[in-house]
Amino acid sequence: MNKKNAAIYCRVSTEDQAREGYSLPEQQEKLKDLCRYRDYNIYDIYEDAGISAKDMEHRPQFQKMLESVRDGKVDVIVAYKLDRLTRSVRDLEILISELEKYECSLECAMDDINTSTANGRFFVRMLTVLSQLEIERVSERTKFGMVGAIKDGHIPVRKILGFMRKDKKLIINPAESNIVERIFDLYYKGKSYQQIANIFNDEKVLNKKWYDTTILKILSNPLYKGDFISGTRTGNPVLYENVVEPIISKKLWEECQEQTRKNTRNYTRRNDYIFFQKIICPNCHKIMACKAPGGSKKKYIYYQCNSCKTYIREDQLIELLVDEITEIIEYDSIVRKYFAPLLKHKITNTNELLSKELINLKDKVIRLKDAYLNEIISLEEYKEDKTYLENRINDIGKKIKDEQELEPYNFTFEDIMLKRDIENIKCFINPFYELNFRAKWSELSISEKQGLITSYIDNIEVIKNDKDIKIKQINFRKTFIEEYANLFNNGGINRNQVIKENNIPINIEVSAPMTREEIKKYIKKLQLSFPIDYQELKKEQVNDQQFMLKYNKGNYFNEPFKLIPIIDKFKITSYGLIEIPVSPINIINVNM
């Protein structure tokens, strides 16, 4: 009688070896003993080292053994335990069917398994069901533990730009977070992935090579808005919201995703269109495309609807939007750029974290030098890494200096309003000091104009009759509306209101409501810079939507500058009026 050819199969993962000591040599010895006891001829030994049993496809030696079975070279597979072969009920059924087809049996040394009989095959199936149940229970416990860890800030990600680890938790890295903010800001203002990468490469940001794919990954990562998605590789994504401190707002993140969708639909882009993707066709209500004219019209920039062929000239749009544009420039240059750093410093002073990061980098320079002196790294590697670390040290040093310069200031929204009012009063009384925002618009480059419009305006609805066009509505971006509303509600910005003085319309700024005590303190601060006058005006209701404020000029040369709604027991009963020196009784009608 011919001896059976046996295939010895051994498998171990690092987990198995650490937990239960199933080393490959130990398995081999026991299985060789079993083959000698059974009088089997050992055809070959198949070993899969450090591989999980969750599937059969990704185990090369296991697949090689099955090929030997199919070729009729193996009569029996000998394994240490059943879970060395598979822990899946589905895979077991496939394996048993395959072995039956080629008249090959299965034996396991520690489980007393033999599939050459019906009872043996039944017992194998029962053991595999129990084994899979244990795997699923372990998986559930692991997932449950992971959920708790993620919610507690222990995010399972590698090094990610803008974040650092502290006590195993992911926190904002102040030395890098401004780079992330800048990427989102540049993209929000209309720059493409490649353009941002080019800017960073030209500036040698972080002394590394930037690619458009790198920018894309950063812009699409929800971690920067404070959220984390797990299970993307398995096809079962789970969203965990607000698990880390966000670097950028959720609104800005969503706006950038929407911008990506728009860019995907309109992938062609020229650099000379200020209102790219902003103009809505008055007939079809679709976004108008950029049109490069020829012939006699070549000097004009056009936007054309691809459906109905309606066109609109860019210079006519600018003329109609000049007032809104100048207000946007004023807001962008005075409010956002000037006060945003102060507000950010007030909310989060990052000096301590920056100092720790600086110490850490200096330690790395010392360790790097030791590595070179001990011939662990080459001179070229030493110079390259040293340059990178020194650049990072210089960057953080500048950030610390900037923070220290802001340290003496304890800016509140009242301080912001005060500073802005002082700037506006200077413009009001001194024509040489006045900022000519219309002239500033003409001084901006095409790219800067595009960035300004993209930052603040979502789209523009127009009306066109023959060659005549009008602005129907300007739809501002949500992030700008919320930012503006937040500043106004907290007193950091004023809004313009049209009022009538002796039935003549005039513009006046109106601030957020204040109590009399708050106004009293505010006026004293303002009077330290200018000889302003102040008086309180009583409300006299005319109808449901209109009321009058009786105004008597305190000084013949005074001009009304600003209205402040006065809160009295949670109601606005009157208005404070700030006058600037520059007469009779005047009547002011106010529509609010």
Q: How many CB atoms lie within 10 A of CB 394?
A: 10
Q: Does residue 349 carry a pLDDT above 70?
A: no
Amino acid at 469: I
Q: Does residue 22 carry a pLDDT above 90?
A: no
- Region of 498 please: left (phi>0), alpha (psi -120 to 50) or beta: beta
Burial of 180 (0-12, 13-18, 19+ CB in 10 A): buried
d(CA 423, CA 327): 15
**Residue 168 tokens, joined:** 């195993």
Question: How large is the average pLDDT for residues 116-142?
Answer: 63
Residues 6+ apart with CB under 8 A from 162: 172, 173, 176, 177, 179, 180, 224, 247
Matching CATH number, 163-320, of 3.40.1190.20, 3.40.50.2300, 3.30.70.20, 3.90.1750.20:
3.90.1750.20
Torsion of CA 514, 534, 436, 482, to 10 degrees: 10
Tens digits of residue pLDDT in 293-305: 554 455 678 888 8
Q: Would the CA dihedral through 299, 303, 304, 306 be positive or negative?
A: positive
| Contact call for residues 180 and 218 (beta carbons, < 8 A) | yes
d(CA 451, CA 436): 20
d(CA 268, CA 279): 16
Question: What backbone phi and psi angles, to 5 degrees, belong to 46?
Answer: -115, 125
Bridge partners of 7, per DSSP, are 44, 77
Q: What angle do CA 530, 536, 540 make, to 5 degrees?
A: 145
Q: What is the pLDDT of residue 408?
A: 52
d(CA 592, CA 585): 22
| Contact call for residues 262 and 277 (beta carbons, < 8 A) | yes
**Residue 40 tokens, joined:** 């089997």
Average pLDDT score, the chain: 76
Question: How large is the average pLDDT for residues 397-419?
Answer: 66
More confident residue, 387 or 236: 387
Amino acid at 205: V
pTM above 0.85, yes or no: no
Q: What angle do CA 185, 188, 193 make, to 5 degrees?
A: 90
The CATH class of 5-144 is alpha beta
Bridge partners of 165, per DSSP, are 170
| Contact call for residues 20 and 83 (beta carbons, < 8 A) | no
Question: How large is the average pLDDT for residues 471-482?
Answer: 81
**DSSP labels, 114-125:** ETTSHHHHHHHH
Among 179-183, 351-355, 358-362, the least confident range: 351-355
Among 248-257, 327-336, 518-527, the least confident range: 327-336
13 in active site: yes
d(CA 496, CA 446): 28
| Contact call for residues 230 and 156 (beta carbons, < 8 A) | yes
Q: What angle do CA 332, 188, 488 make, to 5 degrees?
A: 40
Give me the residue spans of the domains in the chain: 5-144, 163-320, 494-592
Tens digits of residue pLDDT in 277-326: 888 888 888 888 877 655 445 567 888 888 888 888 888 888 888 777 77
Question: What backbone phi and psi angles, to 5 degrees, belong to 493?
Answer: -155, 155
Annotated catalytic residue within 13, 192, 333, 574: 13
Question: How large is the average pLDDT for residues 177-195?
Answer: 85
Q: Does residue 18 carry a pLDDT above 70?
A: no
| Contact call for residues 117 and 126 (beta carbons, < 8 A) | no
- Region of 212 please: left (phi>0), alpha (psi -120 to 50) or beta: alpha
Among 206-220, 240-254, 377-391, 573-587, the least confident range: 573-587
| Contact call for residues 439 and 311 (beta carbons, < 8 A) | no
